[in-house]
Copies of this chain bind each other. A is one copy, B any other.
Amino acid sequence: MRVSRTLDPMDEDFLRLDNQICFSLHAATRAFNGVYRGALKELGLTYPQYLVMLVLWEHGELPVKGIGERLRLDSGTLSPLLKRLEAAGYVERRRSAEDERSVTVRLTADGTALREKALGVPRRIAAATGLDLAELGELRERLHVLAARLDGVDPDDVAAACG
A interface list, Cβ under 8 A from B: 5-6, 10-12, 14-15, 17-32, 34-43, 47-48, 50-51, 54-55, 57-58, 71-72, 115-126, 128-131, 133, 136-137, 139-140, 142-144, 146-147, 149-151, 153, 155-159, 161-163
Contact = CB atoms under 8 A, between A and B. Distances in A.
Contacts of A119: 6, 11-12, 14-15
A32 B22 contact: yes
Copies of the protein in its oligomer: 2
A140 B115 CA distance: 34
B158 A54 contact: no
A25 to B, nearest CB: 6
In order of increasing CB-CB distance, the 6 nearest A-B pairs are A18-B122, A38-B155, A31-B150, A14-B122, A24-B143, A28-B143
Nearest to A12: B119
B122 A15 contact: yes
B155 A37 contact: yes
10 contacts: A11-B123, A14-B122, A23-B51, A23-B71, A25-B32, A27-B144, A28-B146, A121-B162, A124-B158, A139-B146
